[in-house]
Every structure is written in structure tokens, then in C-alpha cells.
Structure 1
Amino acid sequence: MPRTLVLWDIDHTLINAAGTGRQAYADAFEVIVKRPLEHVADMAGRTDWAITVETLRMHGIEASGDLLDSFGAALAEAFTAYEAAVREHGRVLPGAREALEALSRRDDVVQSVLTGNIQPIAIGKLTALDLDRFIDFEVGAYGMDHEERPELVRLAQGRATGKYGQAFGSASTVLIGDTRHDVHAGHLGGARVVAVATGSSDRETLSDAGAELILDDLSDTGAVVRAILAVSDS
């Protein structure tokens, strides 16, 4: 049976993590750089790799491969202190749980994530809010896999192909995200895009970016499922 690969952005698409990612980032920076974080690069729709490289440069530091590896490990460690805060103060956005559950019941859908978060934080956030059971994390793509988000689409497609024995191309891959960066990543990486206006980009911005379909939010489960399947069939 041909399957559709559905790749979810996490922050401001599925959940609001109550700023815990930024707090963990500041903690990791101080551990690795040995001084407080003074400036941070724009995080919306970007990978942790890109955010880290730019943030380090803002502090006069060039990011080597070893430094990025160390920073990623420190970031994962720092986030463990905030998982309880995600459970207590974070929230699942309207309709997200229902959409994930509905898609998880379909045999013709493989559901994973495409996120700027590193893998331990992606899993930690979704586990804290009891959404992890709907996601195949093995075939997802994460914020330290590559600096550029479009490459994450190709990585996820390759991982899904390896696991499920089906080639996933643009006609069978749908990315759901809330920023123009998500839309651009999907199109450049080889996916179709359903955008939701639940983050920093409004409907006009998402339309200008070229999203195939735009939803105000995920609250209408039937509409979400139909949108995802429609763009994969188009």
C-alpha cells in the first residue's frame, strides 16, 4: 500500500513549550562558552545547528564541528531540567492531539517530525505532553542533522524509505508547519506543505511563501486530515 510521509514541525505547530527551549539554550551556552548568553539568533523555523552557528558568531566565536557536537550534547543535558516545566506549563495547541491520533490510525500514513530541535529535545517535548506515541521518531529529521532545513526533508525521506521500503518523493511527502521557513524548506527539500497560522507567520505571509493549503489552526480534525491527503494526491 502506498503511504504518505507526514512530517510535523513541533513548536507553535503542535505545541507551545512555554519558552523552555530558549532557557535550555542559555544554560547550554554558559556551560560550553563559560560566559552568559548575551544575544541569541532568531529561532523561528530554523535548525539548532543554524541558530548555534549564528549565536556563537554574535559572541565572536567560530563554530567548529567539535564545538557544535559539544553544544548539542550540552543542550540535550540542559533540557532535562525543563521537562517538568513543559508538562506543567506547556500546552498542546488546539486540535493537534486529535489530528495526530486520527492520522496514526491510518495504514496509508507514516507520521514523524521535521524540526529545528535536536532529537532528544524533540522527543522530550512531545513525551512531556503525551504526544510521542503517535510519532515514528526513527524516520524524523532534527536540528543537528543539518544546518539547512530543506536538507532535513531529504534526510527524513531517506530514513522513511529505508524503514518502509517505499520511495518518498514530493507527491508522497507532506510537511506541516507554521512559518515561511517551513514552507520554503518543504518546497526546496521536496515536499508539499500545509501551513497553519498558529505561529509567527500570518496567513498572508504563508500564502506569499507558497503553501499549498493554509489552515487557521488544527481544531477541525477532519479538515486537517483532508488537507494533508489532498495535497499529497494533487
Structure 2
Amino acid sequence: MWNIDLTLVDVAQVTRAAYAEAFEQVTGVPLVYLASTGGRTDSEIFFEFLARNDVRLDPGEEPLSDFIDALGEAFARRRDQLTARGRAMPGAQEALAAVGGLEDTVQTVVTGAIMANAVAKLSAFGLDGYLDLSIGGFGSEHYPKGSLIQFTRMRAAQAHGFEFPESATVYISDSPRDVEAALIGHATPIGVVSGSATESQLRSAGAKYVLEDLTDTVRLVSAAREATAGTG
């Protein structure tokens, strides 16, 4: 399982613009104060936006679904900006190809982004073909990532007709929160120092395996093999 943002791609500028448009459309309040997005789903980020920007909801008001819809539309209007204002992370395509070449391996994503936006980010850089996105975990599901990892494992078993043991599951990400989510979801975390977190922060969160980036595919594959060693 792969995280997307700052692990496989960096489209932060486009994402921030879409957040701002969707938030103001739904709440009527400009998005002035941002929130930390690493390891969080779009649903979690929205509620932190509300708190940080002092937006008070009326009793019974539930704007999350409206925000998710608006976010998808705002991002879709910016799809042509992804390659101009974003990039694939160094080694991302080669890393996906290398891990995908391992025997009996299925690759997908567990991401905080809603599904439409996740697919757009990956397809913009030609990365979607390496992944089975039909079984992935996405921010539009309104669950924390630890739960999404568990759900994704179950979907993989249903789709492919055989079990994927916890010991055979790895989650590759740049965020300490994702490392913690992997441990909660009973997957082995592989950290990548491609976001704002340091190696020591990733290790402190529980990552035994930490890579500087994705360009060293030999080391990545070795980490994946070692993490799942003994799985029958």
C-alpha cells in the first residue's frame, strides 16, 4: 500500500487552491488558516479547517458531504495544472514498477485524498497503471487511515481470491502519522524522507525501514522483502 501526497507525487499548490475554493464555497468563510495535512484524510482536514478558521456550525448542520463534493469539483477544474505546478516524486515510477514485479504482489493506495482527486493525481503522472485503485482506501470514506488499511486488505482478498496476511502487508509513506496508522492497521510501515518529517521522526513513530527517497529501488525492494519475510 502506498500513500500518495509527498510519497508518490507533490501537487500541494493545486491541492491548497482546491481546498480554499471548496471551503469558502461551503462555509462562506475564506480559508485563511491552514492545517497540517500529513497523515490526515480530507474529512479530518475539513474539520480542522473549521476549528482554525473559527467557523461555528448550527445544530444539525453537516457540511462535510457538501465540502467533499465541492473539493472534487474544484480539483477537477485544476487538473490541467497538475503537471505544470506539481511533479512525480523522484523515483516514483521506477519504485512502483520494481515493487510490482515482486511475486504475488498487489499494489494499491491508502490516501487521505478523496478517490476522484487521488486518481487524478496519479494519472497525471502515469502512475495509476501500476496500482489496483478499485481496492484502495480513500479520504472520501470518512475513516482514519488505520481503519482504511484494514478495509483495503479485506477488499484485496475479496477481489483477488486469496488472503493477504497482516504480515504480508506494507505501507509506504512519508508521514509519522501514517507510520502510526500502519501499526494500527497491522501493516509494516516503510518510511520515506520525502515530506517534512525527518528520519528520526519516522523511526520514533515506529518505522523500522526508512529510505531517503524512492530512487534506490534495490533498497526499497529489499525492505519490502525483509518486512514480509516468512509469509507463506
TM-score by length of 1: 0.91
Match of residue 49 from structure 2: 55
| C-alpha separation in 2, matches of 1:127 and 1:118 | 14
State the alpha-carbon separation in 2 of the partners of residues 74 and 89 from structure 1: 21
**What SS does the aligned partner of 1:198 have?**
coil
Q: 2:124 aligns with which of 128, 135, 140?
A: 128
Structure 2 CA distance for aligned equivalents of residues 156 and 136 of structure 1: 11
- Among 140, 144, 154, the residue aligned to 1:144: 140
Does the aligned pair in 1 maintain the 2:13–2:85 contact within 8 Å? no
Deviation at 1:38, TM superposition (A): 2.2
Instruction: For 1:176 and 1:67, locate their aligned partners in 2 and report how far apart those are by CA, in whole Å.
Output: 32
User: Bigger shift: 16-25 or 179-188?
Assistant: 16-25
In the alignment, is residue 8 of structure 1 matched against residue 2 of structure 2?
Answer: yes
Match for residue 16 of structure 2 among 22, 25, 32: 22
TM-score (norm 2): 0.92
What is aligned with 1:33? 27
Deviations 1:172-202 (A, max 9, x none): 1100000110100000111001101111110
Give the Cα separation in 2 of the matches to 1:79 and 1:60: 23
- Corresponding pairs, count: 228
Identity %: 37
Instruction: Write the distance in 2 (CA, Å) between the matches of 1:232 and 1:49.
Output: 31
Q: Which amino acid aligns with 1:119?
A: M
The unaligned stretches of length 5 or more in structure 2 are: none
The structural deviation recorded for 1:88 is 1.6
User: 1:79 Cα deviation (Å)?
Assistant: 0.1
| Residue 201 in structure 1 maps to residue 189 in structure 2 | no
The SS at the match of 2:141 is coil
Any residues of structure 2 matched to 1:80-229 within 5 Å, and which?
A: 80-229=76-225
**By how many angstroms is 1:18 displaced?**
4.2
More divergent stretch after superposition (91-100 vs 163-172): 163-172
Contact 1:53/1:62 (8 A) holds in 2:
no
* 8 Å Cα contact 2:41-2:111 kept in structure 1: yes
SS in 1 for 2:40: coil
Contact 2:113 2:139 in 1 (8 A): yes
